[in-house]
Amino acid sequence: NAGVTQTPKFQVLKTGQSMTLQCAQDMNHEYMSWYRQDPGMGLRLIHYSVGAGITDQGEVPNGYNVSRSTTEDFPLRLLSAAPSQTSVYFCASSYSKSTGYTFGSGTRLTVV
Amino acid sequence: GIQVEQSPPDLILQEGANSTLRCNFSDSVNNLQWFHQNPWGQLINLFYIPSGTKQNGRLSATTVATERYSLLYISSSQTTDSGVYFCAVSNSGYALNFGKGTSLLVTP
């Protein structure tokens, strides 16, 4: 039981490049979400999914795409990286809306 | 969205001291969680507590939903308690709004 696994742990991109941040969970959790954490701003919700095939936007969705083709995986795609997307990205999952979240260890992304 | 305010923003304690962290929120919620982010950046869920009181070892939490606040108590603090404590809430059950956190430093 690995919990929530995020890859990669670190990434440097050039402006305009695209990439996918991977998130996988092995706990059969229905709910998954992506947050970004910036200094002094706490965590802000990017996108979330309440089950396979269902996604919705959070507070800061611009510049990011998601899909949920399986219960286990919830990748986050950066379409054209910008320096403003430099941040630490966290993936989280929960069994239901009445249970606590489990977070992955994060991906530190730098866009130059 | 729901506004979440945490206080104090920073706290320094000596080992063995007790502390109370507060979380105020602007609307009714059906999901409230407390998290600890350790100095290595890992986020650990401490409590799922939309109402009532829970205890886990030296930590306990109380949420008074009707008055829109929650408290996290840390007793007999240890250096390993250092880090940032976040309160997060939702009224949909799913999309959590996070406060800006309380940064705690426990000194030997």
pLDDT digits (tens, 9 = 90+) for A49-87: 999 999 999 999 999 999 999 999 999 999 999 999 999
Most B-contacting residue of A46, A97, A108, A109 (CB-CB within 10 A), to test interface: A97
Beta bridge partners of B13: B106
| Cα–Cα distance for residue pair A66/A16, rounded to 1 Å | 18
pLDDT at A94 over 80: yes
Counting residues of chain B whose pLDDT is more than 90, the rounded percentage is 94
Helical spans, DSSP H, in chain B: none
Q: Chain A residue closest to B42 (CA)?
A: A105
Beta bridge partners of B89: B32, B97
Q: Which residue has the tokens 């399986």?
A: A70
Angle at A4 between CA A44 and CA A45, to 5 degrees: 10
Of A48, A59, A102, the CB nearest to B94: A48
pLDDT of residue A39: 86
Q: Chain A residue closest to B41 (CA)?
A: A105
* Span A24-45, average pLDDT: 93
pLDDT at A2 over 90: no
A75: left (phi over 0), alpha (psi -120 to 50) or beta: beta
pLDDT of residue A50: 94
pLDDT of residue B1: 83
- Residue pair B56/B48 in contact by the 8 Å Cβ criterion: no
| Cα–Cα distance for residue pair A104/A102, rounded to 1 Å | 7
Residue A42: band (very low, low, confident or very high) from pLDDT cuts 50, 70, 90: confident
| Identity at B57, one-letter amino acid code | G
Q: Tokens for A24? A: 């996988």
Residue B92: band (very low, low, confident or very high) from pLDDT cuts 50, 70, 90: confident
Q: Tokens for B78? A: 């240890």
Q: Chain A residue closest to B91 (CA)?
A: A97
* Span B43-58, average pLDDT: 97
- Residue pair B98/A37 in contact by the 8 Å Cβ criterion: no
pLDDT of residue B95: 86
pLDDT at A40 over 90: no
pLDDT of residue B81: 98
Residue A98: band (very low, low, confident or very high) from pLDDT cuts 50, 70, 90: confident
- Residue pair A68/A4 in contact by the 8 Å Cβ criterion: no
| Cα–Cα distance for residue pair A68/B35, rounded to 1 Å | 26
Q: Mean pLDDT, chain A, as a whole number?
A: 95
> Which of B56 and A1 is assigned the larger pLDDT?
B56
Tell me the CA end-to-end span of chain B in Å, nearest whole number: 40
| Cα–Cα distance for residue pair A68/A23, rounded to 1 Å | 11
